[in-house]
Each structure stands twice: as C-alpha cells, then as structure tokens.
C-alpha cells in the first residue's frame, strides 16, 4: 500500500506532528507549535497525494500505462532558461538594494526567461516528435525573438561604435575606421570571389569581428571619452546688474553654444592687445567701428579677447524702466539695459546671442559694445 516515497512523507508527517506536541508542552509560546502543526498538515497532504499517485510508478505489467503515463513521456530537453530566470531573480533582489538599472535589467531577464521557458516547455509537450515540437516553438517565438535580437544587436554595435569613436582622437578615429572599412571591403570581395568558402568560416570571421567590436566598445567605455573641447557659455547678466563687474559670474546655461551658432556669426568683436575694440562682419572688408545688427533678429556675436587680462563684452542699450519682482514697471526708475558675456580668459572667445527689439534711433544714447575696465573700447551698434 505504501510506496517508497509515501513512507518517507508519512514518516515526516508523524515526526512533525510529534514535534508540534512536544514543542507545545515543553516550550512556551504557540508560534512554534503552529508552525510545526502546519508542516505536519502540509506533509500529510503531500503524502496523501503521493499515495494516490503511487509515486508515479507504472506497473511493468500495465503496458498501456507505460505508453500513456506522464512519467513515460520523454524527459524534457536541456534548457538554460531556468538559469536565466534564476539570474534575473538574483538581479531583481540585488537591484532593489543597489542600482535601479540592475533591477530593471533583472526584471527584463526574468520576464524573457520565464516566457521562453514556458514556450519551450509547452512546445516539448506538443507531441512525441521532437522535430515537430522544435518547429512549433520556432513558429511562435521567432517572430518575437528575431526583431528583438536584431534591435539589441544593432544597439550593441552602435553603442560600441560610439564608445570607440568617442575614445579615439579625431585623427585616430579617422585612421581606425578607415582601416576597418578597408577590411570589411576586402572580406566582402573575398567572400564574393571565393564562393567555395565554407559558411562556417565566414560565420567565425563575423563572430570574431562582432566580439572584437563589442570588446573594443567595452574597453573604450571603461577608458572614457577623449577630452572634448569645452564650450564656454554666455552670460546674460543684465538683470543682475553684473555686466559692469570684473568678477566671475554665473553663466547662462540656456545660451546657445552650438557649432551651428558659432559658425553663423552676425559679427565678431575683438579686444586687441592695445585695448582697442573693433568689429568684423562677413562680406565687409576690414575692421569696423560700427556694427549693424538686424532688428528683432537673434544675432550671434563672438567676442575674442586678445588682451592680456580676463575681460567681458557688454552690449549697452542705454536704460530701461525697472520692473519689480511682480513684473510691474516701477514708475520713474530706470536701470541699465545691458547684455554681456561672462569673463573671458586671455586669448579666449565667447558667444553672445542678442535680440534687439527697438531700433537704435529710439535711444537717446547710441547702442554700443564696450569692455568694462578698458577706457575707450567701444564699437557703435546700429539697429535699423
């Protein structure tokens, strides 16, 4: 009546029940008794099921059961998905107490592993034909697997490329990728003109190239980006009344410092070594003492400091009515209307983007560029 497995479970049930009684008598507190009693009940339940299922053993005399019983079916194939699920679970736990990225990655691995495991298990039970089962699995999983794997693969390659390019110097990058392009072309020619090459050999070369690229990307990511040219920012300090200071002030992070802006200048204003301030603009030969800037037009002015000291460029637009914190105009009170760069080091440059809404003829005093601390350094600004 009792099979081998049943004996173990029945014994464990009795042991748990006895332990519960002893614990309740000898030790104070009901928690242990409740726990051991629960274990006895659970073990008894499992023992009952096992007795009913007869340890899933099939009688050697029952030929029909040998063919039909679940235990008679072929063992499931080897699978790495349980391992992936375990890794995902660990990452989730670790991620919850360390880095969110580990948690997210763990959740993804857990989800993917679970789904793949379920699909594989489902397909392996579809029939006794392993080939058919495999095809069935592919029919369900491939439409999802291939695009996702392709996207991940492309992302990995692009990311690796970007890390390598940011790691290498500009010249080194051109040289390295020039060589790589030649190699790709050469391999392409070899493959095209030697059709007898085995597919396996081509696959090995491609795999080596891919691994090399990803390894290079990882190494470059660890090595960090090359030193990029720092883009100084423009200060719009008029509101703070800080244009007239020679102290360093906080720069305006919103100012455009893009290459596009720097390459499309309305004009250049240069402070020379002798303290002279001159303007230049595309299409007009030589230095100018008057710079024309379009009205209501965002204009990029580059300030070149060729003097021996840190200086800032100030666009002086006269005065404007003072506005209080509530945005109301303060009657009878005027404040300087100025735009300026932050302090620019010796030999440095900085961009000042200005939009002037009112023509220069509307001001009692001419609009002008000037440099605080340098007497006579002025360029008149005319806004038609």
Partner 1 sequence: MRSLGTVGRVPRRALRRRLIAAGASAVALVAAGCAEDAPQDTWQPKGDNAQRIHGLQWPVFAIAGVVLVIVMAAIIWAVFRYRDRGQPIPKQTHGRPALEIGLTILPALILIGVAIPTVGTLLALSETDDTECVVNVTGQQWWWEMDYPVQDGCGGVERPIITSGQMVIPVGTNVLVRGTSRDVIHSWWIPPLNGKRDMVPGRVHTVRLQADEPGIFAGQCTEFCGLSHANMRMEVVALTADDFETWKANQLADYQAPAAETAQAQGETVFVQQCARCHQIDGLLNADGTPNISEPQLHVYSGSAPNLTNLMTRNTFAGATYDLVTENCRDEVWEASPEEFGARYLEGVTAACLNEVELREWIRNAPEKKPMYADPEELEETDAKTRGMPYLALSEEQIDQLIAYLLERK
Binding-site ranges for partner 1 (CB under 8 A): 256, 260-261, 264-266, 281-285, 288, 290, 292, 294-298, 300, 353, 355, 357-359, 361-362, 382, 384
Q: How near is the Cβ of 324 to partner 1 at its closest, in Å?
A: 20
Q: How near is the Cβ of 288 to partner 1 at its closest, in Å?
A: 8
- Helix (H) or strand (E) segment spanning residue 148: helix 130-167
Report the residue number, 292 or 335, with the smaller CB distance to partner 1: 292
Report the residue number, 220 or 238, with the smaller CB distance to partner 1: 238
Q: How near is the Cβ of 157 to partner 1 at its closest, in Å?
A: 27
Report the residue number, 169 or 362, with the smaller CB distance to partner 1: 362
In 54-127, which residue ranges form alpha helices assigned H by DSSP?
63-68, 81-97, 100-124
Report the residue number, 354 or 370, with the smaller CB distance to partner 1: 354
**Within 10 Å of residue 375's Cβ, how many Cβ atoms?**
8
Cα gap 96→74, rounded to integer Å: 40
Sign, CA torsion 236/238/244/248: negative
Cα gap 349→356, rounded to integer Å: 22
- Helix (H) or strand (E) segment spanning residue 186: helix 170-193
Helix 130-167 × helix 170-193 angle, to 10°: 140
Place of tokens 């204003």: 269
Report the residue number, 160 or 353, with the smaller CB distance to partner 1: 353
Cα gap 241→337, rounded to integer Å: 9
Q: How near is the Cβ of 362 to partner 1 at its closest, in Å?
A: 4
Report the residue number, 180 or 261, with the smaller CB distance to partner 1: 261
- Helix (H) or strand (E) segment spanning residue 70: none
Q: How near is the Cβ of 295 to partner 1 at its closest, in Å?
A: 6
Q: How near is the Cβ of 354 to partner 1 at its closest, in Å?
A: 11
Cα gap 321→337, rounded to integer Å: 9
Lookup: tokens for 113: 């592993």
Report the residue number, 168 or 269, with the smaller CB distance to partner 1: 269
**Within 10 Å of residue 47's Cβ, how many Cβ atoms?**
21
Which letter does DSSP use for residue 344 in this model? B
Cα gap 77→119, rounded to integer Å: 13
Q: How near is the Cβ of 240 to partner 1 at its closest, in Å?
A: 23
Report the residue number, 70 or 199, with the smaller CB distance to partner 1: 199
**Within 10 Å of residue 100's Cβ, how many Cβ atoms?**
9
Name the β-bridge partners of 340: 314
Q: How near is the Cβ of 336 to partner 1 at its closest, in Å?
A: 20
């Amino acid at each position: 009546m009792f099979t081998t497995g049943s004996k173990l479970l029945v014994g464990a049930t009795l042991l748990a029940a006895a332990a519960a009684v002893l614990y309740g008598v000898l030790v104070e507190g009901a928690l242990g008794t409740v726990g051991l009693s629960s274990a006895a009940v659970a073990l008894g339940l499992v023992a009952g099921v096992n007795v009913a299922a007869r340890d899933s053993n099939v009688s050697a005399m029952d030929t029909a059961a040998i063919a039909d019983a679940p235990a008679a079916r072929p063992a499931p194939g080897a699978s790495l998905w349980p391992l992936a699920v375990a890794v995902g679970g660990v990452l989730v736990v670790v991620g919850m107490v360390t880095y969110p990225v580990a948690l997210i990655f763990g959740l993804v691995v857990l989800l993917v592993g679970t789904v793949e495991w379920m699909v594989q298990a489902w397909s392996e039970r579809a029939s006794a034909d392993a080939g058919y089962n495999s095809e069935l699995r592919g029919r369900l999983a491939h439409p999802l697997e291939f695009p996702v794997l392709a996207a991940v693969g492309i992302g990995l390659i692009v990311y690796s490329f970007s890390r390598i390019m940011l790691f290498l110097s500009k010249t080194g990058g051109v040289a390295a990728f020039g060589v790589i392009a030649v190699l790709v072309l050469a391999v392409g020619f070899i493959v095209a003109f030697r059709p007898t090459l085995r597919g396996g050999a081509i696959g090995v070369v491609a795999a080596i190239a891919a691994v090399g690229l990803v390894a290079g990307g990882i190494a470059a990511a660890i090595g960090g980006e090359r030193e990029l040219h720092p883009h100084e920012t423009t200060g719009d300090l008029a509101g703070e009344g800080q244009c007239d200071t020679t102290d360093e002030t906080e720069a305006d992070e919103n100012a455009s410092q893009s290459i596009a802006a720097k390459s499309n200048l309305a004009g250049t204003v240069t402070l020379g070594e002798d303290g002279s301030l001159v303007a230049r603009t595309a299409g007009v030969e030589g230095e100018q003492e008057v710079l024309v800037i379009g009205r209501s037009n965002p204009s990029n002015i580059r300030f070149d400091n060729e003097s021996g000291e840190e200086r800032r460029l100030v666009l002086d637009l006269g005065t404007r009515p003072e506005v209080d914190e509530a945005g109301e105009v303060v009657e009878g009170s005027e404040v300087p209307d100025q735009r300026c760069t932050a302090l620019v080091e010796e030999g440095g440059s900085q961009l000042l983007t200005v939009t002037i809404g009112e023509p220069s003829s509307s001001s009692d005093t001419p609009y002008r560029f000037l440099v605080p601390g340098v007497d006579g350094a002025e360029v008149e600004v005319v806004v038609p």
